[in-house]
Amino acid sequence: MKFLHLGDLHIGKDLQDFSLLDDQKFILEKIREIITDKKVDCVLIAGDVYDRSIPSEAAVKVLNDFLCSLAKMKVRVCMISGNHDSDERLNFASPLLRSNGIYISSVFNGKLECETFEDEFGKVNVYMLPFVKSSEVASYYRDEEIDSYEAAVKTVINHADINTDERNVCISHQFVVGSGSPEMAGSEGIEAKTVGTVEQISYRCYDKFDYTALGHIHAPQAVGRETVRYSGSILKYSKTEALNTKTVPLITLGEKGQVNIELVGLEPLRDIRLLEGELGILTKIENVKYPDDFVYVTLTDETEAANPMGTLRTVYPNVLQVVYRKDELGDVVLQQLTEDESERPFEELFNDFYRQFFNEDMTQKEKEIMNEAAKEAGIIS
């Protein structure tokens, strides 16, 4: 049986002032082509289907069209909610959708919901665990000690009647980690133990499953082992994702224990790119490539132009941000000074930084100017 693993669609998301609905419709059409070409039996959607808990009418239509097209293709869909979704809204009309092979688990009801399919090798059980908080699970299992997200997920799985002799797949939307933290590009704000207020849990929670389809982290990657995997978001949704390569996992389950994973590339309608250079050089027509893409620009000019954003948008209409390299260097200085816990003098610290970038020491005059600036900024007294 073949599964295509999707997650973090974030339908209805804007990139600053630019709507991404056309980009999302484009990439979903590309995904439909993959489903047809690869003869996919079932699509797994691992949460954050919408970008907002109350999606726009246009966003709802994009999802509706996608699901209806899969139903017409006789491709089954198993979908859960993520922390961005409204449980009730995503669950709307789910009984009607079931009759068309669209299975939605968006509201946690105290148990791990399961849909069972069959192929030439026997049963495949797809378990659907929507995004849950420890307090939600604790309200159903009052005799259990549930004081963390990991304890919550373990409790739900341990109370499910899972036959490990059969092939089992799990869809889950949590912050799952392996021996180290996963690559976070594009995720929802990063702290040591949480992402977007969601606590981390171990990939070992999913040991009973042949494949675990994860959502929540936007960078595609395996966690702990190859069969516990984030699909990543279907598009790049932030500057930190610019260098990512977007893929979707195609999972083929053979006999028990036989799991093949193929990563199929996704090419967007408009990519996100990072440009750096002098304003006059970047805006020369012969240097302009992919003009319709979203771009973040770092200018290396020493003198600031009057309206660099306006100038750049004459050749790159979808410029998202313009910064000067000299300003970024100043931000790095402040960050290094803030994070340095040693008691080395400010002048010594800054001179080291200056030498790193310019390969020479500061002059006495430059030291005096920097000390005055540091005093005004409150870095030193």
pLDDT digits (tens, 9 = 90+) for 53-95: 889 999 999 999 999 999 999 999 999 998 888 766 776 666 6
Mean pLDDT of the chain: 87
Q: How far is CA 297 from CA 263, 277, 300, 308, in A?
A: 31, 8, 10, 10
Whether 292 has a pLDDT exceeding 90, the answer reads yes
**Given this model, what pLDDT does residue 357 score?**
54
Asked whether the beta carbons of 249 and 215 are under 8 A apart, the reply is no
Asked whether the beta carbons of 136 and 174 are under 8 A apart, the reply is no
**Given this model, what pLDDT does residue 92 score?**
66
Higher pLDDT, 66 or 372: 66
Asked which of 152-166, 295-309, 330-344, 347-361 is least confident by mean pLDDT, the reply is: 330-344
Q: Judging by beta carbons within 10 Å of its beta carbon (0-12, 13-18, 19+), is residue 16 exposed, middle or buried?
A: exposed
pLDDT band at residue 354 using 50, 70 and 90 as cut-offs: low
pLDDT band at residue 8 using 50, 70 and 90 as cut-offs: very high
**Given this model, what pLDDT does residue 189 score?**
41
Whether 149 has a pLDDT exceeding 70, the answer reads yes
Q: Judging by beta carbons within 10 Å of its beta carbon (0-12, 13-18, 19+), is residue 285 exposed, middle or buried?
A: exposed
What value does the mean pLDDT take over residues 360-375?
Answer: 75
CA 337/CA 42 separation, integer angstroms: 52
DSSP, residue by residue, 160-214: S---TTSEEEEEEESEEE-SSPPP-TT-S-B-SSEETTEEEEEGGGGTT-SEEEE
In the three-class reduction of DSSP (H, G, I as helix; E, B as strand; rest coil), residue 11 is classed as strand
CA 233/CA 235 separation, integer angstroms: 5
Nearest to 46 by CA among 84, 72, 8: 8
Place of tokens 């491709």: 75
Say which DSSP state 285 is in.
G
pTM of the model: 0.81
**Would the CA dihedral through 20, 26, 30, 31 be positive or negative?**
positive
Nearest to 279 by CA among 299, 309, 303, 297: 299
Say which DSSP state 45 is in.
E
**Given this model, what pLDDT does residue 195 score?**
46
Nearest to 217 by CA among 175, 171, 265, 180: 175
Chain segment 167-220, per-residue pLDDT in tens? 999 999 999 998 655 565 555 543 344 444 458 999 999 999 999 999 999 999
Whether 96 has a pLDDT exceeding 80, the answer reads no
What value does the mean pLDDT take over residues 310-317?
Answer: 95
Residue spans of alpha helices (H) in 10-102: 21-37, 57-72, 87-90, 94-98
**Given this model, what pLDDT does residue 196 score?**
44
**Given this model, what pLDDT does residue 53 score?**
86
Q: How far is CA 101 from CA 43, 71, 214, 323, in A?
A: 10, 6, 21, 49
What angle is formed at CA 12 by the lines to CA 290 and CA 9, rounded to 5 degrees? 80
